[in-house]
Amino acid sequence: MISGNRRIVVIGREQWDRVIRRRIRPYHAGFYAMYSSVFGGIVKDPALMLVPIDDHMVHRGDGVFEVFKCVDGAIYNLDAHLTRLRHSASALALAPPCGWDGLRRIVIAAVRAGGRRDCNIHLFVSRGPGGFTVNPYESEGCQVYVAVVRARPPFMAEHPEGAAVLSSSIPPKPAEWARIKSCNYLPNVLMKKEAVERGADFVAGFDERGCLTEGASENMGIVTRAGDLVFPRLERILAGTTMLRVIALARRLKGGLLRDVGFGDIRRTEIRRAAEMIIVGTSVQVAAVRSFDGRPVGSGVPGPVSIRLNRLLEQEMRENRKLRTPVF
């Protein structure tokens, strides 16, 4: 850190190793491994987990990404994440230099190198380095980065009382961008910043018609008092991989806890009248909402649908062999 009148030095290669060692922080203990196509391999030293500053992903947000989990030694729902990544990449004319089959092998190798049976994987396909203008054609070629890091406990494990949600003031993304998981996440960052500063667990976005969109990095839905599980229409939201799996699992509850499962417009009035509101995502899994805009949702405690869906999802992540890609 530079302070006062301390001289700013020029660091050469001979000083680099000593300087980079000072960069290590306690949170780096949760950084297990990183693959970089720029360097052509995997590193396990957090000090070496670096991305070139001239990669257009860094200075223009020109890249796409996915986040998924390794659960008890196997990656959960990998095919769905790679399919969505390919869709996002094609929209920006990006392609991994290793090819899509090679990308799968790299992900598995990086997780294995990390040595943890439970972890999160952050996978990026970037425009690549080559300069600092907005012109994507100055890049020397697309790159791939895979970061394997500590998995946080799902939301309900740390907050069994459920989540407090507020309406967000951040405008939603245009439809064509909402459906792409790009590295230009500034609206999402501002939503999370808003939640933290306002003392909420999450904030919920609403479009110009007053209909629910999504959270900063989560999908949201409601259970009506008639027993319908409803998520927002896919035209204005990212098709969350966890949301789609939760919908598939929820269909098992039809004729019991649920009458129907589907998509539709959800306005604030529907949320206030709902029996339950739920949040779903890779990290959060399935979370119950106890309050929305300061008012209790349903009875103000986690409801039977959210509790049941969370259990079903947890069971599927550990037992559904069709959706588990073994690593260890």
Q: Are residues 82 and 204 in the same domain?
A: no
Query: What domain count does the chain have?
Result: 2
Q: Which of 69, 181, 193, 322 is catalytic?
A: 181
Q: Are residues 128 and 160 in the same domain?
A: no
Q: Are residues 173 and 228 in the same domain?
A: yes
Report the distance separating Cα 178 and Cα 239, nearest Å. Answer: 9
CATH number at residue 198: 3.20.10.10
Q: Are residues 55 and 167 in the same domain?
A: no
Question: Buried b / exposed e across 65-81, counting CB within 10 Å, b at 16+?
Answer: bbbbbbbeebbbbbebb
CATH number at residue 72: 3.30.470.10
Show the tokens assigned to 287. Answer: 């979370």
Report the distance separating Cα 133 and Cα 243, nearest Å. Answer: 37
Show the tokens assigned to 300. Answer: 């103000």
**Is residue 15 a part of any domain in this protein?**
no
**Is residue 190 a part of any domain in this protein?**
yes
The domain of 213 spans 155-319
Q: Which residues on neighbouring strands pair with residue 123, listed in sequence order?
A: 66, 146
Report the distance separating Cα 200 and Cα 192, nearest Å. Answer: 9
Q: Are residues 144 and 197 in the same domain?
A: no
Q: What is the pLDDT of residue 2?
A: 54
β pairing state of 74-76 and 143-149: unpaired
**Is residue 47 a part of any domain in this protein?**
yes
| SS3 (DSSP) at 278 | strand
Q: Are residues 240 and 122 in the same domain?
A: no
**Is residue 18 a part of any domain in this protein?**
no
Q: Are residues 110 and 236 in the same domain?
A: no
- pTM for this predicted structure: 0.95
Q: What is the pLDDT of residue 13?
A: 87
Q: What is the pLDDT of residue 4?
A: 63
**Is residue 194 a part of any domain in this protein?**
yes
Q: Are residues 41 and 160 in the same domain?
A: no
Strand order in the sheet with 41-43: 41-43, 31-36, 143-149, 119-126, 63-71, 74-76, 324-326
181 is a catalytic site residue = yes
Q: Mean pLDDT per 10-residue run, the chain (328 residues)?
A: 73 88 90 98 96 97 98 98 98 96 97 98 98 97 98 97 98 93 96 98 97 98 98 95 98 97 98 98 97 98 98 98 98
